[in-house]
């Protein structure tokens, strides 16, 4: 299980996950060490935009996503625009976490940004061994890194079901379960 947990991997909440912070979520694992893990919820767009959050710096209406319940005032971003946004941490497959903030603010106006940049408020975090425990309890399914999934558009449930169903036969079956498995 540990070898599957690497930066760039995706975590898909399982149907039994009823925590409203994570029900039907897809989390990009940004960092995983013995000290814990950090990720970003990919499929929870907020009713806010970049200009609303940083009105003193930009008027951009670029979408912002809720990265998770931790550090709710912290801005994070991922991108596949290293030629425009320097200094990011390479998560593999040409995906980068963070980088130069001024360059990111300029990049939101680039036509490629819509499918190559995602901005988050907050993050998801796990203490030492916590994520492994949740995986062992069946709360999450690990999926390999996939850039198309990282930037997939749609409602949280549609994105979650689409990625889960594309994994394998078991994922396809799980993706068809009702929101609360007790309804089945």
CATH code, domain carrying 167: 3.40.1740.10
Residue 154 lies in a domain: yes
Residue 25 backbone dihedrals phi, psi, to 5 degrees: -105, 155
Residue 47 confidence (pLDDT) above 50: yes
Residue 184 lies in a domain: no
Residue 3 confidence (pLDDT) above 70: no
Please give the pLDDT value at position 77.
98
Residue 15 lies in a domain: yes
Domain count for the chain, please give it.
1
Per-residue pLDDT tens over the stretch 170-183: 777 777 776 655 54
pTM of the shown model:
0.90
Say which residue the tokens 């399914």 belong to.
141
Say which residue the tokens 């998801």 belong to.
124
The 10 Å Cβ neighbour count of residue 78 is: 27
Q: Domain limits at 170?
A: 2-179
């Amino acid at each position: 299980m540990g070898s599957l947990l690497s930066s760039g991997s995706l975590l898909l909440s399982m149907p039994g996950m009823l925590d409203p912070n994570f029900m039907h979520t897809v989390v990009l694992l940004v960092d995983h060490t013995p000290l814990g893990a950090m990720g970003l919820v990919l499929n929870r767009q907020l009713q806010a935009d970049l200009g609303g959050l940083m009105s003193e710096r930009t008027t951009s209406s670029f979408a912002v996503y809720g990265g998770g319940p931790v550090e709710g005032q912290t801005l994070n971003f991922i991108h596949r625009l290293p030629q425009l946004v320097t200094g990011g941490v390479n998560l593999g497959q040409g995906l980068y976490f963070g980088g130069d903030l001024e360059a990111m603010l300029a990049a939101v106006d680039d036509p490629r940004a819509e499918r190559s940049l995602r901005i988050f408020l907050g993050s998801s975090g796990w203490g030492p061994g916590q994520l492994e425990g949740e995986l062992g309890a069946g709360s999450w399914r690990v999926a390999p890194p996939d850039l198309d999934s990282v930037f997939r558009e749609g409602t949280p449930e549609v994105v979650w079901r689409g990625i889960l169903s594309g994994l394998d036969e078991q994922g396809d079956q799980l993706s068809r379960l009702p929101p609360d498995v007790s309804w089945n």
